Structure 1
Amino acid sequence: MSNSRQTSGILLAIAPELVVIILRELDLSMLIRCKRVCTDLKRIIDDSVALQYKIELAVAGMEDGPPSSIDLAERLRRLQNYTKAWRDMAFSPSENIRFDGHYWELYGGVLATSAGDSTLIFNKLPGHARGIKSRQWRIEEVGFPIRDFKMDPSQDLLVMLDFPEQ
């Protein structure tokens, strides 16, 4: 009997739930190799929501977020919808945002646009696959003409530039 058959035979002698716990510790390349060892291991990996989620995250270049009330099967479904939308370039539904100002900034899923000289409009872009709802808010009349601005929503940071007259 070959060495890989002996190893897979010993591994498959334990409960599939324990095999999944062991396989969750592997990196993506080792997990994919395990799928090629035998049909039983492939079936265990393919049938495990936890292992499929791990594979899909790695393929998408993402990391798992903090603990959530959303169960693993739902997170996997959302991740698959998200990657399918990017693969097919088919985002649904779409929203149009009017923009008549001079300046705009897109960062961290927030589109900010100028309106007039001293007002900014912020649009949180929806992420239907990720359960993110759209939202809009404004900063009205900041007290000076905005010449440019930068933002980082993750830090709750907004920097506005004014060039005072000399």
Structure 2
Amino acid sequence: MAHRLRTVQPDFVGSAPLRLVFTAEVSAPPDAVYRALAEDVEGWPGWFTQVTAARPLDAGAGREVRLRGGIAFRETIVAAEPGRRYAYRADESNAPGMHALLEEWLLTPAGTGTRVQWTFAADGSALFRFTMRRARPGMGKSFRDAVRNLGRRLSTATA
């Protein structure tokens, strides 16, 4: 059953009790990466394999996302800076022990491509924080795989 999470603002990304930060590079330009993140929400399962379903809500002001394992989120977009930054907070989730979540994607030009930095900023019970810290290597691999898949998807779209 979904529960309401604490409402956090974009600055939570720097003050969250749990911060997991991952980076990878993709050969696509920042504007193309941003469009895949922010405008093609329904396309996420095609490149981020942990996402099983995603759809925009409220004329693009929010999202509903489902992950492998049955975890679901109802989110609000809190930052949308084309080609630079995309961030959303979870307002509701069925993730046990989670109290607050904000995810931020920063896009920086890197040669002819983009450096993608994903920050998972969260708060929750002690068990939740412990579990998420232990999950860091797996989350990092999922992120790197997703960025690689996104790069392939974007290069095929422009070919």
Same fold (TM over 0.5): no
Structure with greater helix percent: 1
Structure with greater strand percent: 2
TM-score by length of 1: 0.24
| Larger Cα-atom Rg | 1
TM-score by length of 2: 0.24
